[in-house]
């Protein structure tokens, strides 16, 4: 077995906990893990857990070549993207890095999921339950408008007045759906091998959210939600790291598919600490180690987060 593993993290500048979990996993598997971050600036929290290389913006036309260069220079064994744009870059350069394992789906699939309007169309075509989706002309109130390419809940607007909805600028850049006031939000953290074996599906309730990220969450053993997540994985032939978001409509007792994100969720630490060995899966699959499905994770495992500072002197 390889004694040293280098993991290149794209856009994971704040994911210190995940970096530490990957290092712990390496020790269990008998390898030393070195984490390298690819960021616009090098003074980011991840620097406290590894090395950070200054990179380019995701919309820079040179970024794919630059990521390939850095991966080769750092002799990266594993490439893990953390943002939507980073996933698309990782998917596009995957074939250019045959010696680097990257647990991502193909670029075309990722592009559909990162456009909320196109994703809703794909979900509906696959027979997945989703909130009623409108055009402006047939919208019923209350309605919620989400930027097609938005992240972290930015730019989301709820409308109770049709005149206000009609005045929304660049309305074609939004997904408009029925607003469900009494709801709970769930994420299902999944890992799927490159051969298509689903190794884990862990639902967690998002109790508190800040800037679109879970700051307080608890694992929930919900067989119905696990099955629904499995159906999504099968329908779209997903591979690698996946998190699937659902809305639970409390008034009508139903789960509605909201988003499919082919990457690690920020709150995945909750599922990992509950017993889902996702870091082991990432490293193990890169090494060709036999992997086993996990469904004995701990129900009702609560995660809560706090701020911690990283200080850079003489900067």
**Averaged in consecutive runs of 10 residues, what is the pLDDT profile of the chain (315 residues)?**
90 97 96 98 98 98 99 98 96 97 96 96 98 84 91 82 84 92 98 98 96 92 98 98 98 98 96 99 97 98 96 93
Q: Where in the chain is the domain with CATH 3.40.50.20?
A: 4-102
The pLDDT of residue 1: 62
**pTM of the model as a whole:** 0.95
The pLDDT of residue 152: 65
- Rg (the chain; Cα; Å): 20
What is the Cα–Cα distance from 90 to 278, expressed in whole angstroms?
A: 19
Which positions ≥6 away from 36 have C-beta within 8 Å? Answer: 6, 7, 8, 9, 50, 51, 52, 53, 70, 74, 76
Number of H helices, E strands in the chain: 9, 14
Q: Where in the chain is the domain with CATH 3.30.470.20?
A: 111-115+182-304
Which positions ≥6 away from 47 have C-beta within 8 Å? Answer: 37, 310, 312
> Among residues 174, 186, 163, which one has the least CA distance to residue 267?
186
The pLDDT of residue 154: 79
Domain 4-102, what fold? Rossmann fold (3.40.50)
What CATH number does the domain located at 111-115+182-304 have?
3.30.470.20
């Amino acid at each position: 077995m390889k004694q040293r593993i280098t993991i290149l993290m794209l856009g994971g500048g704040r994911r210190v906990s995940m970096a530490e979990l990957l290092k712990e996993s390496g020790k269990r598997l008998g390898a030393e893990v070195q984490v390298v971050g690819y960021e616009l600036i090098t003074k980011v929290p991840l620097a406290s857990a590894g090395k950070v290389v200054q990179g380019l913006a995701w919309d820079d036309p040179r970024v794919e070549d630059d990521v390939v260069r850095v991966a080769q220079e750092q002799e990266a064994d594993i490439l893990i993207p953390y943002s939507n744009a980073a996933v698309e870059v990782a998917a596009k350069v995957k074939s250019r890095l045959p010696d680097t394992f990257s647990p991502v789906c193909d670029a075309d699939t990722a592009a559909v999921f990162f456009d909320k309007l196109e994703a809703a169309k794909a979900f509906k075509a696959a027979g997945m339950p989703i909130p009623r989706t409108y055009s402006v002309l047939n919208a019923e109130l209350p309605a919620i408008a989400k930027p097609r390419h938005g992240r972290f809940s930015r730019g989301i607007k709820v409308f109770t007045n049709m005149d206000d909805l009609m005045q929304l600028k660049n309305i074609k850049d939004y997904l408009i759906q029925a607003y469900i006031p009494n709801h709970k939000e769930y994420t299902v953290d999944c890992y799927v091998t490159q051969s298509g074996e689903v190794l884990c599906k862990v639902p967690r309730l998002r109790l508190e959210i800040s800037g679109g990220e879970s700051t307080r969450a608890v694992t929930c053993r919900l067989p119905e939600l696990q099955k629904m997540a499995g159906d999504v994985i099968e329908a779209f032939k997903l591979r690698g790291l996946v998190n699937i978001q659902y809305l639970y409509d409390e008034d009508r007792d139903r789960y509605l598919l909201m988003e499919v994100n082919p990457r690690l969720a920020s709150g995945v630490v909750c599922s990992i600490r509950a017993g889902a060995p996702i870091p082991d899966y990432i490293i193990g699959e890169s090494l060709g180690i036999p992997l086993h499905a996990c469904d004995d994770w701990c129900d009702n495992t609560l995660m809560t987060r706090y701020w911690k500072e990283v200080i850079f002197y003489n900067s």
